[in-house]
Amino acid sequence: MSARSFGQRLTAAVAAHGRLCVGIDPHPALLAQWELTDDADGLEAFAMTCVEALAGHVAVVKPQSAFFERHGSAGIAVLERVLAAFDGGPTVTILDAKRGDIGSTMDGYADAYLGVKAPLGADAITLSPYLGFGSLLPALDTAADAGRGVFVLARTSNPDGVAVQLAEFGGRGTAQSIVDDAAARNAGIEPLGDVGVVVGATRDHGLDLSALNGPVLAPGLGAQGARPADVAEYFADVNGLVLPSASRSVLKAGPDMATLRAAAEALRDELVALG
């Protein structure tokens, strides 16, 4: 890993390549659309086309671990190669794995994804805090020591999340408490803290993000219905960086590498134009 912090690397990547995050989601339907086999060979062809198309052209990519894991050990090996291909380059990686557990199990996840020599190390990983934000401390500390980052689920776009994420205690909703805990970890760090949050871009989230001092991963752009203008409206108060994320709406432009790159660059530039 670079000696620079995750916040420093992310800030530099966004300054150079805009705010767009492109998901690398080798969904079976997309493999079929690209006329690839639904096996490790098709997975590798899909993933490496994405690497070639996106590296150095967008700030952030987000491989979805589940679509690699479904192919077993061969799929995990492809994921390792994808992360290695981006490592040290101008495009930052967020591994979307949504891990969360307690005690020694959380330590194990931290070693796998966030340690200095983590075998599945990305620049950052998504985490689930619903065993308590404190349960994430092994991951947060390991990430900080290795110069990596994390994105903690706060307000997701799925309707079933409402009952948990908007439940109130002590005058605060659960999602807001997660944002506040992330902000406490990021306080005083320049240019940006290493603890981000995940907040869906498909609706007004109702959160106060003004003290976060960290990045917001905002999935839902494109196929899920969010527009660039929605992102500008819903995240106007963010103290940090907003990373709108799109997957299918960009990936459907494949399998031609140049066409895929052009689709990503067009959406990237639309977001840049909105400021």
Active site residues: 98
Find out whether 216 and 243 touch, Cβ atoms under 8 Å: yes
Q: What is the longest distance spanned by two Cα atoms in the chain? A: 53
Find out whether 1 and 118 touch, Cβ atoms under 8 Å: no
Find out whether 9 and 17 touch, Cβ atoms under 8 Å: no
- Residue 64 pairs in a beta bridge with 96
Report which residue type is found at 124: A
What are the residue ranges of helices labelled H in 147-203?
162-165, 174-186
Spatial neighbors of 220 by CB under 8 A, at least 6 apart, are 157, 200, 201, 202, 226, 245
